[in-house]
Structure 1
């Protein structure tokens, strides 16, 4: 996470590192953005970890915080159910007691915008009189739903939206194959969606069908349609999701075909030699436009088999 923050949230990382290095730890953060959970966990680890300026992420304390097993940490999530006054009262009651670990205490309130008015007011009083060695991390996707008085008592950090590069870094950090770490962010906008597909049979099936399609298109065009019908058409006959994934992956594959002929880096890094073996195609950009056109048509109520047949016919004959 440390390297990920350096790459994707450089300003916030410098603020965080400077405050911890100078021992001027902020008693309350308000993180604003769509994907704040891992960052909130990292901040919590940094408050407790003594192995480095910021969290080392490998010591016993860091691991327990990540796994939700640290005794001096309380987490409430407004996404699961609205945060109530009783939740804030519970935090206050627990945190006036002696620390179990003597390392400080942390509470994380995720999606604080989904808190009752009574909870917000109770939290405000808690923030107004910060207790030494008690740290708050609040998160929200919509800062306009958080009381201005709460905002004023926190260090507000508006996180930069996740880019394809940041998603790629996250996937690589999770041990996802290099090629899939590069491809998945071009298909999906969130780490949750990428993780949903990264190990799925559907994703790997359809990715293979894309390479079969490209090989047939340039080496055995007479077999193109029948092989596609046998592979994708037979196994995923009425699966619109599979067809959409296939067409989107096919666009990326065809773009890599174009890129490799013009010495541009490719997404399918393990298949660079495969693309290099394919013949030059002066009409490849028109073919990509056709595939994109048929991908758009999937949004309508169409016969999937006929749509695929039409796409293949136009790619073979219509340019």
Structure 2
């Protein structure tokens, strides 16, 4: 999404709210953009920053060609600061350094912008420190906070931001986009359930690691029915060695969520919603016979808990060990 017109096509309400603020010169001192991955949070933040610095703006649209726009695009503008998780969280030292910037005038103008990616990963101390800016905003300072998990944002931060909800993208339309880009139908259906970002989706489709991850996910689900005594060993010998990075571990749990959702859809007769398995295949029927609806609901709950534990920095091997035991019970 390069323009507000592009944003309006997928997030019409968001586009209207922000462009109206720009037109009336009433840009908020702090925004909280909340929405699923791929819904355009970073693109919107970048567009808003460009609109505040662009040298040749046409209405609400930045030109994208001036020095300011180009530097914002490449994250090299001295008055636009990006903060991202250092490891698995945004730490107090990062916010402390940001606070130092609050005390300085803009390098090239009186305007300053701070874009905080993954605001839900702020440690408690970091979140408390960021409140100082939100409570005492400078007229020429704008904070843009982005999150996929709005429930993890402390209420005192939420209450000081203009909260903007980004709507989930239509997975069917995105799936067709992938098919038009020559991604196989089954892969398109699965990948569109994992991301709404076209660039990320195409990378997953061509990634050998992801192909292996899909196979391991199915093998683990089948291990619970075919060789339950070996499932724990499978976790140690295959799963943890393939899912090493935080993002990979989260994707592994997302894949398992989709697989167990498929089995639940089989139970309730919604086979048109399958993304991992195909309607009528023998192994899906076997899995459906093994896992009751009640058990599947419990497993989905444990999977969501496992995702939350990863965000809380619990060791991923311990997370998978506990999850395996919970599924086996």
1:49, 1:56 within 8 Å by CA — same for their partners in 2? yes
Corresponding position: 1:293 with 2:280: yes
State the shift of 1:20 in Å.
Answer: 0.1
| SS of equivalent to 2:279 | helix
State the shift of 1:154 in Å.
Answer: 0.5
2:175, 2:189 within 8 Å by CA — same for their partners in 1? no
State the shift of 1:193 in Å.
Answer: 4.5
1:240, 1:298 within 8 Å by CA — same for their partners in 2? no
> Partner of 1:287 in structure 2?
none
> Partner of 2:100 in structure 1?
93
User: For residues 53-98 of structure 1, what are the alpha-carbon distances to aligned partners after superposition, in whole Å with 9 as ceiling and x for unaligned?
Assistant: 1433343322221211111122111373422222222112123223
State the shift of 1:146 in Å.
Answer: 1.0
Structure 2 Cα separation of the partners of residues 163 and 295 of structure 1: 30
> Partner of 1:149 in structure 2?
156
| SS of equivalent to 1:113 | helix
Number of residue-to-residue matches in the alignment: 217
Structure 2 Cα separation of the partners of residues 49 and 16 of structure 1: 16
In structure 1, stretches of 5+ residues that fail to align are: 204-235, 245-289, 301-319
| SS of equivalent to 2:168 | coil
> Partner of 2:27 in structure 1?
25
Q: What is the correspondence of 1:167-182 to structure 2 with a 5 Å cutoff?
A: 167=174, 178-180=180-182
2:32, 2:147 within 8 Å by CA — same for their partners in 1? yes
2:11, 2:166 within 8 Å by CA — same for their partners in 1? yes
In structure 2, stretches of 5+ residues that fail to align are: 219-276, 288-329
> Partner of 1:110 in structure 2?
117
| SS of equivalent to 1:293 | coil
State the shift of 1:164 in Å.
Answer: 3.0
Taking a change above 3 Å as real, the CA distance of residues 112 and 202 of structure 1, as seen in their structure-2 partners, is closer
State the shift of 1:7 in Å.
Answer: 0.9
Taking a change above 3 Å as real, the CA distance of residues 130 and 164 of structure 1, as seen in their structure-2 partners, is same
State the shift of 1:201 in Å.
Answer: 9.2
Q: What is the correspondence of 1:222-261 to structure 2 with a 5 Å cutoff?
A: none
Structure 2 Cα separation of the partners of residues 44 and 195 of structure 1: 28
User: For residues 85-118 of structure 1, what are the alpha-carbon distances to aligned partners after superposition, in whole Å with 9 as ceiling and x for unaligned?
Assistant: 2222211212322312216211111111111222
The CA RMSD measured in Å over matched residues stands at: 3.7
Taking a change above 3 Å as real, the CA distance of residues 129 and 166 of structure 1, as seen in their structure-2 partners, is farther
| SS of equivalent to 1:139 | strand
Structure number with greater Rg is 1
Calculate the TM-score normalised by the size of structure 1: 0.57
Structure 2 Cα separation of the partners of residues 125 and 30 of structure 1: 16
Q: Which stretch shows the higher mean deviation, 23-32 or 92-101?
A: 92-101
User: For residues 128-171 of structure 1, what are the alpha-carbon distances to aligned partners after superposition, in whole Å with 9 as ceiling and x for unaligned?
Assistant: 111121110101122221111111111101110122367479x7
2:179, 2:188 within 8 Å by CA — same for their partners in 1? no
> Partner of 1:9 in structure 2?
11
Residue 137 of structure 1, aligned match among 138, 141, 144: 144
User: For residues 11-58 of structure 1, what are the alpha-carbon distances to aligned partners after superposition, in whole Å with 9 as ceiling and x for unaligned?
Assistant: 010001100011111111101112322222222222222423143334
Calculate the TM-score normalised by the size of structure 2: 0.56
